[in-house]
Structure formats: structure tokens, C-alpha cells
């Protein structure tokens, strides 16, 4: 309660400071339009922003250890966050610079008007793809390999219960966490990607089919999709997973396959909607009419006439759909009904490591383990969203 | 006014029809189970007589249509069937077979808890999101707008449990201000209850606010391009007044729509968040029942979630019709 009062008092003081800053600015610049027309709210915003930045800088230079000699976890996390942010910004900047000077004329032009967020997104996607493909080479151990030392602390310091062989420690049954984190890229991202592909093949082809043939087929498919979309997707997935777990019995890997099929079908309804809408706009074009009069078949119409003209919106949708699928799979795994062990997967890891968060005051790195696994999921979806946001903005030609 | 009434009645009828069809889908999905409930309850060592007895008890020997009708009429009267786990338990203890193991009794208090959580979230998120959305539209392309864009995009695309654990780390572990476990009892004071609900509510707020704010911003910016706004600007009206007096009344329909849609989204987000914070709501019950394959509970929870989702979407539809004069008066 007192904390709230302090915050309130600080805000009032900042408001006064904002008024003062505007007043000083008006006097000092001889009533320049910038200061003359500035509303009080904007002045307050500037002062608030400055206060936050100053507080951040002050906090950054606090000592990393407390008086008792234990690490100050808050400051440590803040350091990691600031360093991570700066490193990411530099990496994105360098990557954009590289893109502007290397490659074909088309790709150079693409990079010239790219915002930093989009460059960062592309860089992260490339890194994830690299990790996923070469997980077997990058990971120090196998994902199912069990070692003698269980619950080794991360950091590799043998005096406090770590092990130099396992830089991020081991889990409850002695599997190397770093290897599992790396293999997680292969399993989680790979399965999500495959699921999205199936959803697109299914939803896309049915959507185009409905748009081209129309009539009763369109009616039936659209009504079925309407019904399936009326149930929230995560809820529906959980319901179907209950049934799938009964079908799979004791064969765990079968459950993962069922999950891929279930999520692909649920998400294909969303793809169907878009593909049908885009297709409907294309089939009324004159060139489709011409192709029909030429006597072209259904396959030619869909693959040679409609598909090339629908690539741009479908590509953006693919990115967004991948995020949804990825998040759904992660959520299911987190809830314990998604990707099944022994496959390493980030959602399951978050659930298994969640208790470590309570050790933040003693060992910040240990507490960071569940955040790392969850952050690995978040980072990829954020990256894809940055890229899709930029693509949509570019294709819609929005300047404002 | 007659035309509006007609449109609304149409939508209502459509909503009820959707709900009916969804209930059929849920019922059919559950009936795709291999073997049947009786074998699932009794396990492998079941004698044929016991299986037959339970089958008769649960009415599994009836044809599909009859069972569906029984289930639906039960649901309409507030009887959601008997939970397997509870039935098992009472049979084990030796009490009268599944006498008071109703799913409805199990769900009712949890449903109230979930509604409380959603209500607290909405109270924080809606004013925050609309306010920030208006600000972002007002100062679009400024540093504030760009920072808000990056921040909201990140928080939309992060999984709920990531945000939840980050909040736990900072607000419960490092600075012990709020409890990280939301164990709520029925006879709890409102202040204590609020304190325990705050952390899950904040997590949901982060996700939902980002969505709502982006949509509010888009809706207002869309309007700002229209000629009558240009006219007001040329007349010399102040920017804030343009937004509050000229843009907001017309943006109300899309904003109401956005709020209702996001409350519907809340329904799904609540599942993961409740599990993270061990909040005794309907989402946690749902996940637990999925794990132990307690079919009647899964069925009932699924129906409740779907119904809430459909009703909120319906509400969004109707409210946006009511608040938009151009939808009311057809040209």
C-alpha cells in the first residue's frame, strides 16, 4: 500500500517537473513552436521517459553483490537484460549492414528500407533454423543421455554443486540441460513447422477448391469450418487430445503424431477461410475466365492461375499461423499433453524446471533456466511477428 | 427500430443454432473413444458382469441419439452428469454409488472463481488498453508509439507462461509483494482474495491489453483519415478534442467489438494461467480432467468454454450493431 503511495507521489512530482520543463523551454527558446504548442501531457511523457531512463542507469550501476556477499539477483537479471538488448540491437544493425552490401540487387534493396526490428527477426529466424538443423552437431550430448549426477547446478562451479561438463546443469534424472535446450529447437520448432505445413496443404487446397468450384461443396465446407471455428482452438485441442491419449494407449510417440494431426486440422480451418477469401477475389478475374474458356482443368486453374497470385497474403499468413501453432504446441506441452518424453521440448522443460524460479535469491542462473526455455519460445514468435508486421506494412503500402 | 430488432433476433437464433451444433460436435468427439467408458472406469481386470452393470448405470447401452438427448436435456436443466473420478472414489469408499458426485457441483464454485479472475482482468485491462490505444493514435509515429508497438507485439507473441514466470520472478520471488500461488478459499475476505488474484490477473492483462490497444489504435487511425476529421482539423480543433468528440463516437463500435473479442480470447488464455498459478478455476479443472481422462468433466468444461466464447462473440456482434447508426439504418 505504501509503495503505491510513493509511486503516486512520484507521478505528481514528475507532473510538476514536466510543467517546469516546458516553462523553462518556452523561456529559453523564446517561445519556439515546439514548446509553445506542447500539451502538458506530452511534457509529462518526456519527463516520465527521462526519469525511467535515469532510474535504469542508476540501477545498472548498483553493486552486483549485496552486503551479505550473496549475489543481488535483481541487478544481475537487469544486467543480463540490458546486455542482451544491446547485443541484439548491435547484431541486428550489423546484419542489416551486411544485407545492404552482400547479395543480389533485389535483396540489397530489400534491406535498405528495413526497420531494425525486422532485421532482428530475420537474424533470429536464421539462427533458430541453423540450430534446429544442426542440433545433433551443436549439442554436447544426446537428448536422452542420462548422467550420474542429477540436479547439477548451472554455472559449472564444482564447489557449489555444479559440474564443468554440464554448463547449464542437469535435470531431475540427470540429463544435460544444455543439450536438451538445443534439441528443443529441433523438436519443438520442427514439429510446429511440419504441423503448419500440413495445415496449409489441407486448408489451402480445400479453400482454393471451394473458391473455384463453389456451389454445394463451398457451402458444405464453409459451414463445417464455421462450426469448428466456434470452439476456441486450445479448448478443442485439449478435448481431442483426451480422446487421442485413449487411442494412443501406452505408445507415447503415437500421441505426438495425433497432436500434429489434431492441431493441423484445427488450424487448417483458419487457413481455409483466408485461402477461400483470397481465391474468391481471384476467380472473378478475366484471365481465369479466359483459362476456363481455353478448357483448362481444375489443377491448372488452381496451381498455375490462382496460387501464384495468392502467394503474398498466404506467406504472411504462414508466418502468423506458425506462431499460433508453435504457441499452441508449447502450451499443450506445458500442460503435459503435448510433445511426449523422451523428446526434449521447451514447453515440457518450462513445466519441469518451474520450481527452480524460487532459488533466484541464491543462484540467479538456476532461476533463469525455466525463463530460458520459455524465452526460447517467446523469442522465435516475437521474431516471426516482427518480420510479418514489416511484410504486411510493406505490402499494404501504409505510410502513416 | 424494427429492423434492428430483426437483425438482433437473427443473430440470436444463429448463436443458439451454433451452440446446438457445437454441443453435437463435442458429444460426437467424446464418443469416438475406443472401447467405452465402462471399460475405462474399471480397467483391465473387469468382469463382463461389472462392465454391463456400469454400462446400464450410465445408460451406455442406449443408442447414440437417445444418449445425446439425455445429455442435452440434462445440461439444460443444470445436470452435467457424474464425474468418473468422483464416481470411482465414492464406489471405493463404499458410499451409495455416485450419489452426489455431480459435475455441476464440482464446476460451480470454480466457475465463479474463473469469472472473478476474468472480471478483475477486464477491470484493469479495458481502461488501460483504450487509454493507451487513444494515446498511441494521437501521437502516432512518435517514439512512444514505436516503443508501444514493439512492446505490444512482443507481449502478444510471447506464450502466457513466459509472461507469468517473468512476473513471478520479479513480483513474487525477488520482491515478495504478491503471492505466486493463488490458493483461494470460498470464505475469504475480498481484499485477501484480490491480492491472491492480482498476479494471474496481471499476466492476463499483459496479453489482452496488447491486443486491445493495437486494435483500438488501428480503429482510430482508420477514422482519422476520413474527410470530416480533416475538416475539423482545418477548422482548428485541438487534436485531443478531435479524438474525443469526433473520432471516438464513431470508433466506439469497433472498440466495443475489440473488447468483446478479447474477453473471448481471455477464455482460452485463462487455462494456462490458472495452471501456472494453481488458481482453482475451471481451466485448471479442465486440464486435470484431461490428464486423468475424466470424460464427463472434460465434456462439461468444453461446453462451458465454447458457450462463453460463442456468447461473447454474439455480444460483440449485437453491441456493434446497436452502437453504429449506419448499421441500424440501412440505405
Q: Per-residue pLDDT for A118 more than 60? A: yes
pLDDT given at position B94: 43
Query: Within an 8 Å CB–CB cutoff, is residue A199 touching chain B?
Result: no
A121 touches chain B (CB under 8 A): no
Residues B193 and B277: their CA atoms lie apart, in Å, by 14
Q: Is the model's pLDDT at B96 over the cut of 60?
A: no
Which chain B residue shows the shortest CA-CA distance from A75? B174
**Alpha-carbon dihedral angle through residues B141, B151, B203, B220, given to the nearest 10 degrees:** 20
Tell me if A99 sits within 8 A of A114, measured CB to CB: yes
Residue A159 domain-assigned?
A: no
B172 in the same domain as B213: yes
Residues B41, B138 within the same domain: no
* Residues in A touching B264 (Cβ below 8 Å): 232
Indicate the residue of B154, B177, B290 with minimum beta-carbon distance to A242. B290
pLDDT at B34: 61
Query: Which structural domain range is residue A391 located in?
Result: 177-396
- B111 near A CB under 8 A: no
Residues B264 and B131 in one domain: yes
Which CATH number do you get for residue A187? Answer: 1.10.3720.10
Q: Using the predicted structure, report yes or no on whether residue B16 has a pLDDT greater than 80.
A: yes
Which of the given ranges, B202-211, B294-303, B320-329, has the highest pLDDT on average? B202-211
Overall average pLDDT of the B273-280 stretch: 88
Q: Which of B140, B240, B271 sits opposite A234 (nearest CB)?
A: B271
Chain segment B227-246, per-residue pLDDT in tens: 888 898 899 888 778 878 88
| Residues B19 and B139 both lie in one domain | no
Q: Which of A235, A243, A384 sits opposite B306 (nearest CB)?
A: A235
Residues B72 and B120 in one domain: no
**Is position B283 within any domain?**
yes
Residues of B in contact with A6 (CB under 8 A): none
Chain B 237-276, residues with CB within 8 Å of chain A CB atoms: 240, 264, 267-268, 271-272, 275-276
Q: What is the pLDDT of residues B302-324, one digit of tens each?
A: 888 888 888 888 888 888 777 76
- Examine residue B307 and state whether it is found in any structural domain, yes or no: no
Say whether both B203 and B118 belong to one domain: yes
Residues 6 or more apart whose Cβ sits within 8 Å of residue A216:
none
- For residue A300, the distance in angstroms to the closest alpha carbon of chain B comes to 36
Average pLDDT over residues A78-102: 89
Cell of A54: 535515469
Question: How many angstroms away from the CA of A112 is the closest CA of chain B?
Answer: 19
Domain count, chain A: 2
Give, in degrees to the nearest 5, the angle at Cα B28 between B23 and B29.
Answer: 100
Q: Which of A45, A60, A75 is the last residue of a domain?
A: A60
Task: Say if residue A246 is exposed, middle or buried (CB neighbours under 10 Å; 0-12, 13-18, 19+).
Answer: middle
Query: What is the structure's pLDDT at B42?
Result: 64
Cα dihedral A196, A371, B286, A322, rounded to 10, equals -10
A128 falls within a domain:
no
- Same domain (yes/no): B150, B36: no
Q: What's the confidence (pLDDT) of residue B327?
A: 61
**Rounded distance between C-alpha atoms, residue B17 and residue B23, angstroms:** 10
Do B237 and B154 lie in one domain? The reply is yes
Residue B237 belongs to some domain of the structure:
yes
Residues A355 and A225 in one domain: yes
Whichever domain contains B171, its CATH number is 1.10.3720.10
Report residue A390's pLDDT band, with 50, 70 and 90 as the boundaries. confident
Q: Which of A293, A287, A281, A289 is nearest to A207 (CA)?
A: A281
Strands (E), chain A: none
- Residue A316: all three cell numbers together: 504472411
Q: Is the pLDDT of residue A398 over 60?
A: no
Q: Find the CB nearest B33 among A243, A334, A381.
A: A243
Contact by Cβ (8 Å): A377, B162: yes
Answer whether residue A315 shows pLDDT above 70: yes
Q: Which of A292-296, A373-377, B171-175 has the weakest average pLDDT?
A: B171-175
Residue B315 lies in a domain: no
DSSP 8-state code for residue B330: -
- Within 18-37 of B, beta carbons closer than 8 Å to A belong to 18, 21-22, 25-26, 29-30, 32-35
Contacts of B156 in chain A (CB under 8 A): 385
Which of residues B144 and A325 earns the better pLDDT score? A325
Q: Grid coordinates standing for A335?
A: 500442460
A71 φ, ψ (degrees, to nearest 5):
-65, 140
Per-residue pLDDT reduced to its tens digit, B57-94: 666 667 778 878 877 887 787 777 767 665 554 444 44
Q: Is the pLDDT of residue A53 over 80?
A: yes
Average pLDDT of span B189-193: 81
pLDDT (average), residues B164-184: 82
pLDDT computed for residue B331 by the predictor: 53
| Domain region containing B61 | 3-79
Say how far residue A77 (Cα) sits from the centre of its chain. Answer: 21
Is the CB of A377 less than 8 angstroms away from the CB of B293? no
Across the interface, whether the CB atoms of B141 and A400 are under 8 A apart is answered: yes
Long-range own/partner contacts, residues A34-40 (CB < 8 A, 24 or more apart):
A39/B240, A40/A15
- Is A351 among the domain residues? yes
What is the CA angle B257-B261-B264, rounded to 5?
A: 145
CB pairs under 8 A between A and B: 163
Give CA–CA dist B224/B243, Å, rounded: 8
Beta bridge partners of A170: A176
Contact A164, A356 (CB under 8 A): no
Q: Does A236 touch chain B (CB under 8 A)?
A: yes
Least confident of A213-222, A379-388, B313-322: B313-322
Nearest CB neighbour to A357, from listed B150, B173, B268: B173
Q: What is the pLDDT of residues A249-308, one digit of tens each?
A: 777 788 888 899 999 999 999 999 899 988 888 888 888 889 889 888 888 888 888 888
Is residue B96 within 8 A of residue B90, CB to CB? The reply is: yes
Of B143, B156, B161, the CB nearest to A334: B161
If you average pLDDT over every residue of chain B, what do you get?
80
Mean pLDDT across B151-157: 85
Q: What is the pLDDT of residue A370?
A: 86
In this predicted structure, what is the pLDDT of residue A400?
A: 39
CB contact under 8 A, A382 and B158: yes
In the predicted model, is pLDDT for residue A369 greater than 50? yes
A301-315, B29-43, B195-209 — which is least confidently predicted? B29-43
Whole-number pLDDT of residue A87? 92
Q: Is residue A134 part of a domain?
A: no
Q: How far does the CA of residue B22 sit from the closest CA of chain A (Å)?
A: 6
B117 and B65 within one domain: no
pLDDT, average across residues A99-109? 82
pLDDT at A123: 92
Kindly provide the ipTM of the predicted complex, given to two decimals: 0.85
Answer with the residue of higher pLDDT: B37 or A209.
Answer: A209
Q: Examine residue B101 and state whether it is found in any structural domain, yes or no.
A: no
Res B99: pLDDT: 46
Cα→Cα distances A36→A19, A22, A181, B4, B323, Å = 12, 8, 55, 49, 38
Model pLDDT for residues A141-195, shown as the tens digit of each residue: 777 777 777 777 777 676 666 777 777 777 777 788 888 888 888 888 899 999 9
Residues B28 and B174 in one domain: no
Task: Supply the pLDDT for residue B155.
Answer: 86
- Residue A131 and residue B72: Cα distance in Å, rounded? 51
Percent of chain B residues past pLDDT 70, beyond the cut: 84
Say yes or no: B239 and B126 in one domain: yes
Residue B43's pLDDT is 63
Tally of domains within chain B = 2
**Residue B61 and residue B123 in one domain:** no
Amino acid at each position: 500500500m505504501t509503495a503505491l503511495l510513493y509511486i503516486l507521489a512520484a507521478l505528481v512530482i514528475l507532473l510538476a517537473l514536466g510543467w517546469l520543463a516546458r516553462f523553462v523551454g518556452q523561456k529559453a527558446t523564446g517561445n519556439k513552436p515546439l514548446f509553445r504548442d506542447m500539451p502538458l501531457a506530452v511534457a509529462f511523457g518526456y519527463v516520465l521517459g527521462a526519469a525511467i531512463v535515469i532510474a535504469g542507469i542508476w540501477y545498472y550501476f548498483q553493486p552486483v553483490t549485496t552486503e551479505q556477499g550473496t549475489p543481488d539477483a535483481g541487478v544481475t537479471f537487469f544486467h543480463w537484460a540490458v546486455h542482451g538488448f544491446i547485443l541484439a540491437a548491435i547484431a541486428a544493425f550489423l546484419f542489416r549492414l551486411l544485407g545492404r552490401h552482400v547479395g543480389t540487387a533485389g535483396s540489397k534493396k530489400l534491406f535498405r528500407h528495413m526497420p531494425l526490428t525486422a532485421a532482428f527477426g530475420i537474424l533470429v529466424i536464421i539462427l533458430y533454423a541453423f540450430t534446429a538443423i544442426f542440433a545433433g552437431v551443436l549439442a554436447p550430448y544426446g537428448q536422452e543421455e542420462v548422467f550420474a549426477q542429477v540436479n547439477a547446478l548451472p554455472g559449472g562451479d564444482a564447489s557449489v554443486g555444479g559440474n564443468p561438463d554440464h554448463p547449464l546443469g542437469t535435470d531431475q534424472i540427470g540429463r544435460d540441460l544444455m543439450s536438451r535446450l538445443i534439441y528443443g529447437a529441433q523438436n519443438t520448432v520442427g514439429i510446429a513447422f511440419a504441423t503448419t505445413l500440413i495445415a496449409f496443404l489441407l486448408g489451402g487446397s480445400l479453400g482454393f477448391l471451394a473458391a473455384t468450384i463453389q456451389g454445394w461443396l463451398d457451402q458444405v465446407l464453409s459451414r463445417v469450418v464455421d462450426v469448428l471455428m466456434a470452439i476456441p482452438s486450445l479448448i478443442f485441442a485439449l478435448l481431442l487430445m483426451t480422446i487421442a491419449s485413449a487411442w494412443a494407449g501406452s505408445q507415447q510417440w503415437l500421441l505426438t503424431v495425433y497432436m500434429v494431426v489434431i492441431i493441423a486440422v484445427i488450424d487448417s480451418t483458419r487457413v481455409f477461410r483466408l485461402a477461400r477469401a483470397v481465391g474468391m477475389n481471384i476467380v472473378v478475374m478475366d484471365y481465369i475466365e479466359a483459362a476456363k474458356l481455353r478448357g483448362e482443368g481444375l489443377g491448372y486453374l488452381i496451381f498455375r492461375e490462382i496460387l501464384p497470385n495468392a502467394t503474398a497474403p498466404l506467406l504472411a499468413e504462414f508466418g502468423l499461423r506458425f506462431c499460433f501453432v508453435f504457441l499452441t504446441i508449447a502450451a499443450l506441452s506445458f500442460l503435459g499433453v503435448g510433445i511426449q518424453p523422451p523428446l526434449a521440448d521447451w514447453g515440457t522443460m518450462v513445466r519441469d524446471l518451474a520450481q527452480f524460479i524460487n532459488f533466484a535469491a541464491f543462484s540467479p542462473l538456476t532461476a533463469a533456466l525455466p525463463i530460458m526455455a520459455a524465452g526460447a519460445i517467446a523469442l522465435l514468435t516475437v521474431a516471426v511477428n516482427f518480420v510479418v508486421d514489416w511484410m504486411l506494412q510493406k505490402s499494404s503500402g501504409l505510410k502513416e | 427500430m424494427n429492423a434492428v430488432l430483426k437483425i438482433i433476433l437473427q443473430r440470436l437464433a444463429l448463436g443458439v443454432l451454433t451452440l446446438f451444433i457445437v454441443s453435437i460436435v463435442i458429444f460426437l468427439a467424446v464418443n469416438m473413444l475406443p472401447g467405452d467408458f465402462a471399460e475405462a472406469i474399471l480397467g483391465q481386470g473387469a468382469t463382463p458382469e461389472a462392465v454391463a452393470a456400469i454400462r446400464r448405470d450410465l445408460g451406455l447401452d442406449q443408442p447414440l441419439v437417445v444418449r445425446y438427448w439425455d445429455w442435452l436435456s440434462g445440461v439444460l436443466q443444470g445436470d452435467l452428469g457424474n464425474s468418473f473420478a468422483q464416481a470411482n472414489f465414492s464406489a471405493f469408499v463404499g458410499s451409495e454409488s455416485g450419489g452426489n458426485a455431480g459435475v455441476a457441483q464440482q464446476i460451480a464454485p470454480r466457475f465463479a472463481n474463473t469469472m472473478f479472475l476474468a472480471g478483475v482482468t477486464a477491470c484493469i485491462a479495458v481502461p488501460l488498453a483504450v487509454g493507451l490505444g487513444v494515446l498511441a493514435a494521437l501521437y502516432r509515429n512518435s517514439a512512444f508509439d514505436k516503443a508501444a508497438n514493439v512492446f505490444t507485439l512482443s507481449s502478444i507473441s510471447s506464450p502466457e507462461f513466459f509472461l507469468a514466470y517473468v512476473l513471478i520472478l520479479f513480483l513474487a520471488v525477488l520482491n515478495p509483494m504478491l503471492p505466486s500461488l493463488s490458493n483461494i478459499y470460498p470464505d475469504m475476505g475480498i481484499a485477501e482474495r484480490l491480492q491472491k488474484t492480482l498476479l494471474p490477473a496481471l499476466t492476463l492483462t499483459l496479453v489482452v491489453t496488447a491486443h486491445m490497444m493495437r486494435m483500438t489504435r488501428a480503429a482510430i487511425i482508420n477514422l482519422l483519415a476520413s474527410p470530416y476529421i480533416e475538416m475539423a482539423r482545418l477548422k482548428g480543433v485541438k487534436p485531443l478534442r478531435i479524438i474525443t468528440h469526433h473520432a471516438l463516437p464513431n470508433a466506439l463500435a469497433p472498440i466495443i467489438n475489440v473488447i468483446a473479442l478479447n474477453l473471448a480470447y481471455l477464455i482460452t488464455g485463462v487455462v494456462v494461467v490458472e495452471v501456472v498459478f494453481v488458481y482453482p478455476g475451471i481451466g485448471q479443472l479442465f486440464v486435470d480432467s484431461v490428464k486423468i481422462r475424466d470424460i464427463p468433466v472434460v465434456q462439461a468444461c468444453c461446453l462451458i468454454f465454447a458457450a462463453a466464447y460463442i456468447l461473447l462473440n454474439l455480444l460483440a456482434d449485437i453491441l456493434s450493431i446497436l452502437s453504429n447508426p449506419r448499421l441500424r439504418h440501412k440505405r
